[in-house]
A and B are shown apart, each in its own frame.
Chain A
Amino acid sequence: MTEPLLSIRDLRTVFHTDEGLVRAVDGVSFDVDRGETVCLVGESGSGKTVTGESITRLIRTPPGEIAGGEIVFDGRDLTTLSDAELRSLRGDRIAHVFQNPQGALNPVYTVGWQIVEAIRLHEDVDEPAARSRAIDLLDRVGIPEATRRFDDYPHEFSGGMKQRVSLAMALATSPDLLIADEPTTALDVTIQNQILDLLRELQDEFDMSILLITHDLGVVAEVADRVVVMYAGKVMERGGVFDVFERPSHPYTRALLECLPGRGEGAAIGGTLPPATDPPDGCRFHPRCSYAVDACSEGEQPPACAADDDPDHVVSCVHYEPGGDPSVVRDDRETRLTDGGGEGQS
């Protein structure tokens, strides 16, 4: 078994706000292997974006601060690196793509120039060489007439095309890890499909790992190898994509899957996210959980326990702790998915 490319252990990121301390990410652990796609999924406020931004320390300090834990990337703990060391890693071996491509591109420079800049910042190449690489990249991300569009400004591109440009920019240095935060949320479904296809292709071609942050379980099902489900700063469940979708073990994961519009049941999760400054004791989800028992409201978030035979599939729920009874929560979805899953497809 080889070392994972990225290994996050017990990450804690806090924000010092006027209302008090917000533990946005509170003891999050997961791995990203080489060449695989891991999806970080959760509602807004679950801490998924902060997790992604903590990796290359993009969070604003203050008020933000990484209060503990390890982020081991290719054998080095990023939390111990200096800002300068981190900067040389950022945009080189670890690249980011954001939800809003508008914000990632500078409106006063041509897109070609911005990609050339990204290349030359990290590599000692002359301008013509960087230019032809940039054109090649634009071509690879599927921009028609790349040579001609090289000198266009961001506003001359549609939303989907802008997201392709920001992908080209992120790929300029052949990163090992691409952190994509809601990369398709601002796009229409037909364009979203194009971008997801593209991500899959590029991943093979560049042999990179992708950490994809999203709230959309449809997107997760489309691209993930493994899934990390977050809620209120904690990991509720993580495992292979088939395990999580077909044997969702945490009540929260199950509720998320069931409340998708158009899936039939449409059962909403009652209540709202707990206040960020004052999360409940015990399991963070227990006030909204329909399987909660007394033990759920005591102590800390339950530790990650095995959900089934697969050592990779873990769940943080009292029913799975030694002595608990998982069958309380369990519901084998496998049959239902294959029988009644004819929705949304032609």
Chain B
Amino acid sequence: MTRPLLDVEGLTKHYPVTEGVLRKEVGRVRAVDGISFTVDRGETLGLVGESGCGKSTAARATLRLEEPTDGHVVFDGEDVTDYDDRALTRFRRRAQMVFQDPTSSFDPRMSIGESVAEPLQIHGVRDRERRRRIVADLLERVGLDAADVDRYPHELSGGQKQRVGLARALVCNPDLIVADEPVSALDVSVQADILDLIDRLQQSFGLALVVISHDLGVVREICDRVAVMYLGEIVETAPTEELFEDPRHPYTRALLGSTPVADPRRRGQGTTLTGDVPSPSDPPPGCRFHTRCPEVIPDEDYDLDSETWRAVLDFRLRVLADGVDVEAARTYAAADDDPAAADPDAVRAAIREEFGVPATLSDRKAEAAVADALDSLVADDVDGAADRLADAFPTVCRRERPDLAPATGAVDSETWAAIKRLRVWVATRVDADEATVRDHLERRCANEADRAGEVDRLAVRAAFRLPDPVSDGDAERAVGDAIDALLAGRAGAAADELYEAFGGVRERACHLED
């Protein structure tokens, strides 16, 4: 495995929520919250997730169309987040974006020839005739007619406009294209055409591609690898076929299961998730998916099947959010009589029914907790009910936040994060000479140096918070060799070592055992 074109590490984009004239920060929308991924030359990475999961923000922050709050974006050996304006302009020529809505991404008063030629002009191709030649050639390559240069956007269909959008992205001969929902505004019959075109263009131009989509069918069609996002985080990455054949994260399974299949004999077999995506300004603690996850890990103390467990957890969540409508349950239980006089047993039964909690749980301890909570609820003591349930059911999914780690389980998530930290540091120095690398390394590890001021293997490990040794044998060998290469000033060799050992590894962020 060669060094990737793009290595994104810990990318974060928060939007402050401000209040009053002083614009005091009262909260943050965590649109993207520390995501990492790599894209090889000639590779297509799919970024999938529901709306609001931060996939578009991730793309825009990667290209610095929005300033990232934190994190590194290493593009071809340089850190894009360190770029000044001039370097950024150069970078933008090599990394282009294609947008979802082809209609609003063109100036209606410019002919498509002018639109496609505009980036050339900005990036300094002054020769008019040459611009025209390049544009005409490109239009033909995206399946339009060279004579179309003088037509205007409104004369073209949606599919044709998206072709022009691709031509415009390709005109500066970029290395990377980020396509945000490139076909979701198009009809199904046209989608296949455009996807096919993207595939062909990628091969003939040797492009690296990041495709953002909510449509798993699209992703499966053109992506080599997929990263699944939920609420600002990546929950799973895998080669496309592996992801579809053997999804390892419950959210991926739910997404795959929710996509309707065009086969009427399989109707109703999909997974239905309960609830909405939580707000990114107030993400749930622990695993962000635990509020909807059909596979939440039951506490070991209880013996309940997964469906009952989900029902109990839904009940618990709703009580904690003070969202149980006891009044409605009373009305329901009282039928036509006065709700205030409803039989408490009937009210308790009505609440159980609403959440699908069985009349008696098979597990005695769990039953006791639920019954106590119901008593409190009926007595209008919501806080009492909430405390009882929070104490009784502290699932690990809520307690601890799972971080991305290799799906093989070879190393834990902390080590994995440390390896990526080291890797991205190395990746920005692959072109530096040995003295510079050693100099940078000394400064990076200065706090950890031994008494003589020498930076040694231990200091490097401490500075990047790498364990000594790494638990897995192969991983330890790679990390050890990389550190040795670094100490010798050979950043290129260190990078090769790290990407060779850890590139393209399947990752997952979940407490579930495999």
Taking Cβ atoms with an 8 Å cutoff, the residues of A that contact B are: 43-44, 135, 139, 144-148, 158-161, 188-194, 196-197, 200, 215-224, 241-242, 245, 255-257, 259-263, 266-270, 272, 337-338, 341, 343-346
Residues in A neighbouring B29, C-beta threshold 8 A: none
Apart from A144-B318, A148-B325, A221-B267, 7 more pairs, CB < 8 Å = A44-B187, A145-B324, A218-B259, A221-B266, A223-B267, A344-B256, A345-B270
Contact flags (1/0) for B268-310 with A, using CB distance below 8 Å? Answer: 1111111011000000000000000000000000000000000
Contact B257 A196 (CB under 8 A): no
Alpha-carbon gap, A245 to B263, bound state (A): 7
Residues in A neighbouring B311, C-beta threshold 8 A: none
Q: Does B489 contact A (CB under 8 A)?
A: no
Q: Does B203 contact A (CB under 8 A)?
A: no
With A255-B189, A272-B159 in contact, do A161 and B276 touch (Cβ < 8 Å)?
Answer: yes
Contact A263 B262 (CB under 8 A): yes
Q: Interface residues of B, CB < 8 Å — how many?
A: 52
Q: Does B220 contact A (CB under 8 A)?
A: yes
Q: Does B195 contact A (CB under 8 A)?
A: yes
Contact A261 B189 (CB under 8 A): no
Residues in A neighbouring B271, C-beta threshold 8 A: 193, 346
Alpha-carbon gap, A309 to B214, bound state (A): 40
| Nearest A residue to B274, CB-CB | A194
Those of B242-258 within 8 Å (CB) of chain A: 244, 247, 253-258
Residues in B neighbouring A224, C-beta threshold 8 A: 264
| Nearest B residue to A224, CB-CB | B264
Query: A337's contact among B157, B159, B258, B265, by CB below 8 Å, is which?
Result: B265
Residues in A neighbouring B262, C-beta threshold 8 A: 217-218, 220-221, 245, 257, 260, 263
Contact A242 B253 (CB under 8 A): no
Alpha-carbon gap, A221 to B259, bound state (A): 11
| Nearest A residue to B196, CB-CB | A268
Query: B50's contact among A44, A189, A241, A267, by CB below 8 Å, is which?
Result: A189
A-B pairs with beta carbons under 8 Å apart, 10 shown: A144-B323, A145-B325, A147-B325, A190-B272, A197-B272, A217-B188, A223-B267, A261-B218, A262-B216, A337-B263
CB distance from B276 to the nearest CB of A (A): 5
| Nearest A residue to B256, CB-CB | A346
Contact A346 B247 (CB under 8 A): yes
Residues in A neighbouring B216, C-beta threshold 8 A: 189, 262, 344
CB distance from B188 to the nearest CB of A (A): 6
| Nearest A residue to B246, CB-CB | A346
Contact flags (1/0) for B91-131 with A, using CB distance below 8 Å? Answer: 00000000000000000000000000000000000000000
Taking Cβ atoms with an 8 Å cutoff, the residues of B that contact A are: 50-51, 157, 159, 187-193, 195-196, 214-218, 220-221, 244, 247, 253-274, 276-277, 318, 323-325, 327-328
CB distance from B321 to the nearest CB of A (A): 9
Contact A215 B259 (CB under 8 A): no
Residues in B neighbouring A215, C-beta threshold 8 A: 187-188
With A224-B264, A241-B264 in contact, do A190 and B220 touch (Cβ < 8 Å)?
Answer: no
Residues in B neighbouring A196, C-beta threshold 8 A: 260
| Nearest B residue to A159, CB-CB | B51
Residues in A neighbouring B196, C-beta threshold 8 A: 266, 268
Residues in A neighbouring B218, C-beta threshold 8 A: 261-262
Contact A259 B50 (CB under 8 A): no
| Nearest B residue to A46, CB-CB | B187
Residues in B neighbouring A43, C-beta threshold 8 A: 187-189
Residues in A neighbouring B256, C-beta threshold 8 A: 344-346
A-B residue pairs, 6 tightest by C-beta = A218-B260, A262-B217, A261-B217, A268-B192, A188-B50, A268-B193
Contact A193 B195 (CB under 8 A): no
Contact A259 B188 (CB under 8 A): yes
Contact A261 B325 (CB under 8 A): no
Contact B253 A218 (CB under 8 A): no
With A44-B187, A193-B260, A268-B190 in contact, do A345 and B273 touch (Cβ < 8 Å)?
Answer: no
Contact B192 A341 (CB under 8 A): no
Alpha-carbon gap, A346 to B50, bound state (A): 18
Residues in A neighbouring B221, C-beta threshold 8 A: 261-262, 266
Contact A346 B190 (CB under 8 A): no
Alpha-carbon gap, A197 to B328, bound state (A): 23
| Nearest B residue to A187, CB-CB | B51
Alpha-carbon gap, A165 to B475, bound state (A): 54
| Nearest B residue to A341, CB-CB | B263
Interface centre among B157, B217, B255 (most CB of A within 10 A): B217
Query: A256's contact among B50, B188, B255, by CB below 8 Å, is which?
Result: B188
Contact A147 B327 (CB under 8 A): yes
With A260-B188, A267-B192 in contact, do A345 and B51 touch (Cβ < 8 Å)?
Answer: no
Alpha-carbon gap, A266 to B262, bound state (A): 14
Interface centre among B214, B215, B220, B318 (most CB of A within 10 A): B220
Residues in B neighbouring A245, C-beta threshold 8 A: 262-264
Alpha-carbon gap, A118 to B10, bound state (A): 50
Contact B220 A262 (CB under 8 A): yes
CB distance from A128 to the nearest CB of B (A): 13
Contact B276 A191 (CB under 8 A): yes
| Nearest B residue to A225, CB-CB | B264
Contact A341 B266 (CB under 8 A): yes
Interface centre among B50, B195, B261, B263 (most CB of A within 10 A): B263
Query: B273's contact among A139, A194, A219, A221, by CB below 8 Å, is which?
Result: A194
| Nearest B residue to A271, CB-CB | B189
Query: A221's contact among B261, B277, B324, B327, by CB below 8 Å, is which?
Result: B261
| Nearest A residue to B257, CB-CB | A346
CB distance from A115 to the nearest CB of B (A): 16
Alpha-carbon gap, A268 to B272, bound state (A): 31
Residues in B neighbouring A145, C-beta threshold 8 A: 323-325
Query: A189's contact among B190, B214, B276, B318, by CB below 8 Å, is which?
Result: B214
Query: A194's contact among B195, B217, B272, by CB below 8 Å, is which?
Result: B272
Alpha-carbon gap, A81 to B139, bound state (A): 53
Residues in B neighbouring A188, C-beta threshold 8 A: 50-51, 214, 277
Contact B258 A192 (CB under 8 A): yes
With A188-B50, A341-B266, A344-B256 in contact, do A218 and B261 touch (Cβ < 8 Å)?
Answer: yes
Residues in B neighbouring A346, C-beta threshold 8 A: 247, 253, 256-257, 271
Alpha-carbon gap, A245 to B262, bound state (A): 8
Residues in A neighbouring B261, C-beta threshold 8 A: 218, 221, 341, 343-345
Query: A242's contact among B50, B195, B264, by CB below 8 Å, is which?
Result: B264
Contact A216 B260 (CB under 8 A): yes
| Nearest B residue to A186, CB-CB | B51
Residues in B neighbouring A344, C-beta threshold 8 A: 216-217, 244, 256, 259, 261
CB distance from A51 to the nearest CB of B (A): 17
Query: A139's contact among B188, B263, B269, B328, by CB below 8 Å, is which?
Result: B328
Residues in A neighbouring B327, C-beta threshold 8 A: 147
| Nearest A residue to B328, CB-CB | A147
Residues in B neighbouring A197, C-beta threshold 8 A: 272
Residues in A neighbouring B273, C-beta threshold 8 A: 190, 193-194
Alpha-carbon gap, A345 to B268, bound state (A): 12
Residues in B neighbouring A144, C-beta threshold 8 A: 318, 323, 325
Alpha-carbon gap, A346 to B251, bound state (A): 11
| Nearest A residue to B49, CB-CB | A188
Alpha-carbon gap, A267 to B196, bound state (A): 9
Residues in B neighbouring A194, C-beta threshold 8 A: 272-274
Alpha-carbon gap, A290 to B261, bound state (A): 26
Alpha-carbon gap, A161 to B276, bound state (A): 8
